[in-house]
Amino acid sequence: MQATTVAIVTGASRGLGQALAMGLLGPDTYLCTVARTRNTELAARAAQSGAQLQQIQCDLADPAAAEQTATRIMGSLPTDAQRYLLINNAGIVDPVGQADQLLQASAITAALTLNITSVMLLTAAFVQASKPRQADSRILNISSGAGRNPTPGWSVYCASKAALDHYTRVLACENHGVRAVALAPGVIDTAMQHAIRGAAPADFPNVAKFQQLHEQGQLSSPEATAARILRYIVRDDFGDTVLDDIRNYD
């Protein structure tokens, strides 16, 4: 069956990425996911829904692997879809620690590669592949409030998300014929949040705040957030606000 929508989602093995991928499955969709591990639940759901699914196992924190994956994905996309979506969701908060303790270049480099370099690589390949097709092409970069507000202990994460925001603004003003948004998704109950709550206060002074959010049930579920994002990404005004927050919408 011909796909009317082609969607690419990174970080789809769990959490928000998995929920986004699940929500995109449908008989008229070609879905390509990128994650370090294969998602058997997603594969089973795709078979039930009649969706076309390609799962690519790749560690996007490895620059060479990220580059190869970007080229591979864009060379295999259906050419006659009506809409093309790229959702750059993969990200990592580590390394967590005060700025004067960030002494391991490998940890910093891996985080920056995953959070921003892989986004640039996938986006460049996506734009090159989708532009000749003159279809409705949209890029959604999952950002964070941490990129817009300094958070002690999150130097690397804040810096990478701030870079992601500004990169998205540059992409949008270059006018490549694609709509691009950097979207803060709010605080979600994911494995990342679990790791954050386990951080040492000396490394992350705001840990008590996140523990309290969890205890008070103020974290959104991945499924609820994904549903809101998928409604957002097909809006007619998508791209009008380049730096956005899903909490501004129902």
**Which residues belong to the active site?**
157
Per-residue DSSP letter, 97: B
Contact 196, 204 (CB under 8 A): yes
Q: DSSP string of 159-221? A: HHHHHHHHHHHHHHHH--S-EEEEEE---B-SHHHHHHHTS-TTT-TTHHHHHHHHHTT-PBP
CA distance 193 to 131: 37
And the tokens for 161?
């998300």
Cα 80 to Cα 70: distance, rounded to the nearest angstrom: 20
> Rounded to an integer, what distance in angstroms lies between the CA atom of residue 225 and that of residue 220?
7
Q: Using an 8 Å Cβ cutoff, are 116 and 156 in contact?
A: no
